[in-house]
Amino acid sequence: MASVTEMAQGAPQFQKNIGNVYSQYGLNQGPNTQGLEAIRAQSLAPPGQSAWGQYAKAQQGNQTQQQLGQGNVYNQSQLNTGLSNLAGSGGLSGGARERLSQRAMEQGAVTRQQVLGQDRQAQLGIDTQGEQMRQSSLMGLPGMENQNTATKLALTQPLQQENMAEQQFNLDRYKTLMQAQAAEQQAAAERASANKKGLMEKGGDFLLRHAFGFGGLDADSGKWKWGW
């Protein structure tokens, strides 16, 4: 007689189609939220601390340093030209050299102040634009969060339904297997009972014949019939 385990080996299995499709397209973990996470981080960052703002300020800082360096080179070039002209005309005295140097220093300070003033204005513009971007992202964030939640639910519900269907399928299959085993056990018991009854009838007739050496069961009446 086959056991439930042996009977289950040949029984049909549940096919998880939705789960296979999700695995194929990488949807087992839900929708890709990398973009949403980046927007969330930018929206919730303190003012002036967004990734865009930091990058823009770094670029502006590099530009300012280049302008300061170019201003120093220009002022030194102007000083050298002035000194060369005075030397060529024979008027390069100690006082003239000092005056040209002082003028170059003053011009350099003015240039530096102008460049740094422009840098402060640019930094302020970056902060202002960054805050506007942050506020805009923050206003749109709830809608994005809701859409992400709705997408997760839309992906989760078919899986839940398929899992429930699989549980019901397995339960129905188990009930069917138990009913089949019970029917097989009952049939086996009936066969054993029938075989036992037949042996007893044959055995009783044999014992009487062996003990007395005569008589037997009458086929028509079913009663013992004496005779030699």
Residue-wise pLDDT for 124-166, tens only, equals 999 888 888 888 888 888 888 888 888 877 877 887 888 888 8
| Residues in Cβ contact with 71 at an 8 Å cutoff, skipping those fewer than 6 apart | 108, 111, 112, 115
Distances in whole angstroms, Cα of residue 74 to Cα of each of 70, 80, 81, 167, 224: 6, 10, 10, 82, 142
**Does residue 173 surpass a pLDDT of 50?**
yes
Q: What is the pLDDT of residues 108-129, one digit of tens each?
A: 888 889 999 999 999 999 988 8
Of the given ranges (92-101, 145-154, 173-182), which has the lowest mean pLDDT?
92-101
Of 159 and 172, more confident: 172
**Does residue 189 surpass a pLDDT of 90?**
no
**Does residue 216 surpass a pLDDT of 50?**
no
- Residue 215 gets the label, from left (phi > 0), alpha (psi -120 to 50) or beta, of left
Strands (E), 138-206: none
- C-alpha 96/C-alpha 27 separation (Å) is 80
- Extents of the domains making up the chain: 33-160, 180-228
Q: Contacts for 5-12 with beta carbons within 8 Å, 24 or more apart?
A: 7/177, 7/180, 7/181, 8/173, 8/177, 11/173, 11/176, 11/177, 12/173
